[in-house]
Amino acid sequence: MTDSYRQPGVVLTDRRFTVPLDHAVPAGETIEVYAREVVASDKAGQDLPWLVYLQGGPGFGANRFVGKSAWLGRALKEYRVLLLDQRGTGHSTPANRQTLPLRGGPAEQADYLTHFRADSIVRDCELIRREVTGGAPWTVLGQSFGGFCTVSYLSHAPEALSAALITGGLPSLDAHADDVYRAAYPRIERKVTAHYARYPQDVERARRIADHLLNHQVVLPNGYRLTVEAFQSLGIMLGGGEGSHRLHHLLEQAFVPTPRGPALSDAFQEEVQGLLSYAGHPLYALVHEAIYGQDERPTDWAAERVRAEFPQFDAAKALAGDAPLLFTGESVHPWMFDCDPALRPLRETAELLAARTDWPPLYDPARLAANEVPVAAAVYHDDMYVDTAHSLTTARAVRGLRTWVTDEFEHDGVRAGGPRVLDRLLALARDEA
């Protein structure tokens, strides 16, 4: 069943697909995957090639555009676009604290979630592609984790792709999660240092907030326990083009005077809980480190363990001296499952996933070395979320892959400069640039 409707300049159609939970057991349990088809109004009746968009994450549904905003307008000049809510996200069969208990206990929930990585997403795409294109190949555009999925696609079903476009999402083919975060913390420190250079007044503001949190128990209106580590994790904002400015505006409204002395303002708390809560995307926390699992080594809370190698991120030590407080970035930690009410019921499930040692490989280096699909990738210089050195090593390992290395954008370049970024990637893939 499909439903079509209009927005300015576009026709949208809701599409729903039934896919196996485990593609190795095609006759077994099924789940639903949702996608939104988008076509320009003046091309609605035309036979157009398809472009499927794979959102970053993991754990986020595809962007909800209005009309032809961001990169979508450029794509609609020549494609019919499919915005995929990857399994477990958006309007697809949900996986969260409300639904996962239907699976059983934590062990059953963890087993279920092993089917929510890039390999399963690619196999979903293949079933969907045959239905919507009649078997014709399509172009894939992968942002961030969507780029990881695209490299997996090139590994497992390259014959399905007419072109592959990647933005900020070239993964290491063999790095363990420890390697990923060992490379990440120095990048994060550079982003924080750059933020303080732009807004030096934020050094004292951040230290004051951290000191308050070390000496007071703060529970946000939604029940989130705001610890100093949680506050530091707001550094995830620094990976986006406007993130430093948004963080600055947040910090400047932190305190208000009260009869009992300065307190964190309601406005600050309201914004912070929206930034920190995983209620809308719990899969991000649950399988984030699992996207790096490919061997018999457990991920074992890699970001938390590796952080101990970088003592400059210890808030108490920073406040004991005159060092600036360092924010952290895109990482998941055990304490999040204590602080966030949307994650607390899933703590044991997360522990089981972190201990898992049977992750299958996500990439095929031999097949990538023999690649024949036109591939273009935007690599954002000093990307806070995806290590540039890892990305360029992978770029050299994929035959024919062309890179555009730029410091004009941060990790969200396809949003911030969407038409230009997509135009450049298409030109590279077509040997027009």
DSSP class of 326: P
Question: 381-404 b/e with 16+ CB inside 10 Å = b?
Answer: eebbbbbbebbeebbebbeebbbb
Q: Check if 144 is active-site.
A: yes
Contact 146, 53 (CB under 8 A): yes
Angle between helices 145-156 and 118-133 (to 10 degrees): 70
Q: Check if 431 is active-site.
A: no
Could you tell me whether strands 138-143 and 80-85 are parallel, antiparallel, or unpaired per DSSP bridges?
unpaired
* CA–CA separation, 328 and 206 (whole Å): 13
Contact 328, 233 (CB under 8 A): yes
Cis peptide before 58 (omega within 30 of 0): yes
Exposed/middle/buried for residue 24 (C-beta within 10 Å: 0-12, 13-18, 19+): exposed
Exposed/middle/buried for residue 321 (C-beta within 10 Å: 0-12, 13-18, 19+): exposed
Contact 346, 95 (CB under 8 A): no
Beta bridge partners of 52: 82, 140
The active-site residue out of 152, 390, 411, 412 is: 411
* CA–CA separation, 57 and 67 (whole Å): 23
Closest to 69 measured CA to CA, from 127, 23, 18, 8: 8
Q: Check if 245 is active-site.
A: no
Give CA separation, 302 vs 25, 200, 228, 328, in Å.
Answer: 31, 32, 20, 14
Instruction: Name the strand (E) or helix (H) holding 282.
Output: helix 282-287
Contact 341, 280 (CB under 8 A): no
Sign (positive/negative) of CA torsion 221, 227, 232, 235? negative
The active-site residue out of 92, 144, 172, 391 is: 144
Q: How far is CA 152 from the centre of its chain?
A: 16
Alpha helices in 114-240 (DSSP H): 118-133, 145-156, 177-198, 201-215, 228-232
Contact 418, 65 (CB under 8 A): no
Beta bridge partners of 53: 83, 141
> Annotated active-site positions, please?
144, 358, 411
